[in-house]
Amino acid sequence: MALLKLFPTDYTTALSLLTLFLFLVVSVIRRRVPRNFPPGPTPLPLIGNLHQLDLKKLDWSLIGLAEKYGNVFSVELGPLKAVVLTGYDAVKDALVNHADQFSGRPPIPIFDDYSFRTGNLGLCLSLRSPPHFSQLDASQG
């Protein structure tokens, strides 16, 4: 309460500032990465590096980052940290010499939706075919 007397403000503003401060502290703590983690662009809280990527041409965006950070670099896609490998030698080294470190994959939520959370992707149901399938059917007949 003594702190509130130093700054003439109402409780709502003080609570908002405290919440913002705690959010920033938690964001900084969560952003710590292991010392052997690949370099990459500095991410923003909540969105990571999404502001630096063209999601319509993601491959070209990542190639541009590879020119700056090398064939192995990291990006944050929202809360998800990802290591990006570009080039034959980097991919071969990762899959042959470091296979145990690259064997895990994050869960993909859309697969959970289509597999009814059973993990079995043998059958995916669709209410309508994508437009390019109908064009293929028309060219067959």
Report how far residue 123's alpha carbon sits from residue 80's, in angstroms, rounded to the nearest whole number: 28
In three-state secondary structure terms, 61 is: helix
Domains of the chain, by residue range, sit at 1-30, 40-121
**Secondary structure element (H or E) that encloses residue 45, with its range:** none
H helix and E strand count, the chain: 6, 2
Tens-place pLDDT, residues 55-89? 888 889 999 999 999 999 999 888 788 889 998 99
Percentage of the residues of the chain whose pLDDT score is greater than 90 = 13
Distance of CA 130 to the CA centre of its chain: 26
Distance of CA 67 to the CA centre of its chain: 20
In three-state secondary structure terms, 69 is: helix
From residue 79, alpha-carbon distances to 25, 38, 89, 114, 131 in Å are: 16, 17, 28, 23, 32
Given pLDDT bands bounded at 50, 70 and 90, which one contains residue 137? very low
From residue 8, alpha-carbon distances to 11, 65, 93 in Å are: 10, 47, 60
In three-state secondary structure terms, 82 is: strand
**For residues 21-45, average pLDDT:** 81
What pLDDT score was predicted for residue 13?
83
